[in-house]
Structures are given as structure tokens and as C-alpha cells.
Structure 1
């Protein structure tokens, strides 16, 4: 056997011996990319009370005017980050977070009228996700399944200036923070031992309560002071993410 052949075989043996692309025990992978946020919105019945916290005639009329109200939120794209630590060759835990996207809420009334851009809100959904990776660290392609939890919070809720929205929430609006499960699936393509491309989809069934403080004073649809309105809100959210990862 020639010396060149011996060197080639030695190199091949070395690669085979060391030969893991990524996602092996002890690895840390940081990643950055884009996430498409797609909430399916469900606004429950709105229940209004008077200034003293008890139903009154005005609150009752306001409840009737908002009967059958529905909401929708369009999709938004934001920057997404991840930090994955591998505890074994197949099991890892990732901290996932992103720049809070600005979501726009449209409202549809039972009479067919629509309140475009009724409010905007920023949502924060940092999550911790346990992931199981299929195949081995030597494989370029590694599908995975994940299960985790997200702490969901909302900030900068801004109602529009429309008279009907001011009647509902002219003195402010808020959404309660909540916890939501995260169901996750994805695939990693290992470019080399350091770099990878990750594509994933996650489902978050978010449940929260919205509180609206009606504007005081004689304005259309709210000719009285201090009407407070609450509603249960569901945000069944699909997140589609693509990132570039680096192992260290």
C-alpha cells in the first residue's frame, strides 16, 4: 500500500472516529432567524359592568350592542432566537424567545360591520422546550419533536381612536399574563460540524382575559361614565420558524 493510500485511510478513520456533525451530548447551539406568528383569535362574550362594579342599564345596553363580537389578528414576522443545550445525543432543552411582534386586532360585529385596526398589542412568548432528536450525531438530517411551556405576556395595548372603540376601551385595555403549553416539531440540517439550518413549527393554545375600560363622558355608544368590560380571549397560535444555528 502506498504512503498516500495509508494517509487517506488514516484521515478516513479519524473522521469516522470523531465524526459528529452536531447535537451530541454537551453541545450548545445558538440560533437566530425569522418566525411567522399566526394567531387564530376567539373573543368570548363581552360582559360590561357600571362604575360601581354592578350591572346597570347602560352596561346592559352596551353588552347588547357588543353581542356576537368576533376578533381576528393578522400574521406577523419577527426575529427569533434559540439556545439549545444537549444533555445526551438525543435529548436537549432549548430556551426560545423573540423580539415582541406588534399584533393588530380587527373586530367584527354581529351586524356585519368591521372595526379595522381596533387595537394593537405586543406579545412576549419566551419558552423552554424539551426536544428529542431522531437519528444520530453523525447524520446531516435530524428530525425532532418537542414539548415545553411558554410564559405569555402582553404590553403596549393601544385601542384605536374610533368612537366605538373609545367607548369600549378609551381609558385603557389590558390582557392578563398566562402560561401556555408548546407543541413543537422540526428538522435540523447540519451543514458541517459547526453550522446548521433549523426549520420548525410550534403550536401554542393561549387563553387569557381581556379587560377594557370605557371612556368617561357623553360619547357615542357610551353615554355614561366608567363602563368596564371583560372577555375571555383565545389565541390558538401557529409559529413557523427558520433559523441558522452555530455549535460551540
Structure 2
């Protein structure tokens, strides 16, 4: 991943605008870029887990989570409004994120049973849908071969197929009693986005693009014990902060 970031940074630093004789990135151009995305979560963390039941509400100090890195294919759709200003939509195959838990959950207080999250790894998995829409400003002219860019925009992230570790799920189901189940979810969120990178124009149609995208992702993860009547008998919540660094490399085609 560090090599990808260095490559993108190097492309930006090479702001030498060599004319290539074609206006491949000019007003009205539409470029589709297909590539791959590396998601790095260097500073993921969570607030202590809060558990609520008929016995009261208790916080488990020292509990935390870490989100594992992931890799997935990606597609960028870029439209040039002017020679310098473009709008871009970014989508990727929803990666399967793995979340590891740390510390001990004391759902019924300090005097009750303690559950070590280290026994359930990963504690949770989920598919993340995180499309991005940005406005980008390109340096250099439309005929330049190398064009660094900066951008900002918005992201909406939601999660599907949120699943607990089978052993963790089984433990919660026992708390729910006969016929009980464990249910997990993660809340969606809107997030501001910043991006930087560069495009190298191979010829009038084809190009190479490298970029880095960052946004402060937050979600509330819940994992509950639900009895046979559908009532939540034990709820557990934590607020997760992930702030992924998304490194993208791709090959673009101008239509």
C-alpha cells in the first residue's frame, strides 16, 4: 500500500506539463476509468460498548475495535465541464470488511459475567457500499500529458450483510433464551470527501490515473439478543470511527 501512495505522490510531484498534441481532457469529454482500490484503515477505533437490558445500562471500559484493510475493483466516471473543472462519480465492488474486537464486554455490570472479544475474531463482517461524488480541478492544459488534480465532494456509506462471528452470535442467542437470535446492524452516514492525484494521458483515448481519497467515516454498530417474541432483551452499541484512506489505480478510456 505504501508503494501505491508513493507512486501517486510521485505522479503529482511531476507537474511537468508536456504537450501531447491532443485535447483529450477538454470540456465535454467523458472518461471511464476501471481499476482497483486499496482501503487502508490506519486509525480505526470505537467508543466503549454500552449494553442495556432489564438489569440496567452498563459501559464496558477498554473495549475497542479495529477494521481490517481490504482490496476491491473500482470504476470512476469523469465528465469535464470545462478544460479544468470536472465532476466524478466513484463506485467499487462492495468490499467485505472484517472488524476485530478488543477488550471484555461486561453486559450486566462489573459483577456479572465477562465476555472476551478476543475469542471471536473477526467479531463482525459487513459489505460496505460507499459511492463518492466529487468536483475536481485539473492543473495544466487540456493538451498536457500529465495533469495533477485536487477535489472535494460527498460520500454516502451504508452496510449490508452485517454478520457476527458464529460463536459470538451463539453466545448472544443463549442470552435471548429458547428460540432467541442474535441480530447485528451498522448505521449509514454522509461524509465529506477530499481527493488528490494525477492523470497521465497515453494518447487521445487512453490514460492512467492514480488517486487517494479520504473521508471521516463513522457508524454505530449494534449487536442485540432478541427473544422468540421478537423483543430485544440485551442491546449492545458502539460508535466506530474508521477514516479510510482509499488508494486507486486505473486505466481510463475517453468517449
Matched, 1:48 2:51: yes
Displacement of 1:163 after TM fit?
4.2
The answer to whether the 8 Å contact 2:33/2:251 transfers is yes
* Rg comparison, structure with higher value: 1
Gaps of 5+ in 2: 1-18, 106-115, 176-180
Matched, 1:189 2:191: no
CA distance in 2, matches of 1:166, 1:125: 31
Match of 1:204 in 2: 215
Relative distance call for 1:210 and 1:113 in structure 2 (3 A) is: closer
Give per-residue Cα distances to partners, 1:133-179, cap 9 Å, x unaligned.
00111111000001010110000001012247742995211111110
Give per-residue Cα distances to partners, 1:29-80, cap 9 Å, x unaligned.
0010000012232111222222xxxxx43x54xx35x321111111111010
CA distance in 1, matches of 2:167, 2:219: 24
The runs of 4+ residues in structure 1 deviating greater than 4 Å are 110-113
CA distance in 2, matches of 1:165, 1:150: 35
**TM-score for both structures, normalised by structure 2:** 0.78
Of 83, 94, 98 in structure 2, the residue corresponding to residue 104 of structure 1 is: 98
The answer to whether the 8 Å contact 1:72/1:105 transfers is yes
Match of 1:237 in 2: 244
CA RMSD, Structure 1 to Structure 2 (Å): 2.4
The answer to whether the 8 Å contact 1:73/1:103 transfers is yes
The answer to whether the 8 Å contact 1:210/1:230 transfers is yes
Relative distance call for 1:84 and 1:165 in structure 2 (3 A) is: farther
CA distance in 2, matches of 1:238, 1:108: 22
Equivalent residue of 2:244, what SS? strand
Displacement of 1:228 after TM fit?
0.8
Q: How does 1:152-231 map to 2 (within 5 A)?
A: 152-163=157-168, 166-167=171-172, 171-214=182-225, 216=227, 226-231=233-238
Matched, 1:130 2:135: yes
Number of equivalent positions: 216
CA distance in 2, matches of 1:92, 1:208: 30
**TM-score for both structures, normalised by structure 1:** 0.80
Of 147, 154, 178 in structure 2, the residue corresponding to residue 149 of structure 1 is: 154
The answer to whether the 8 Å contact 1:117/1:160 transfers is yes
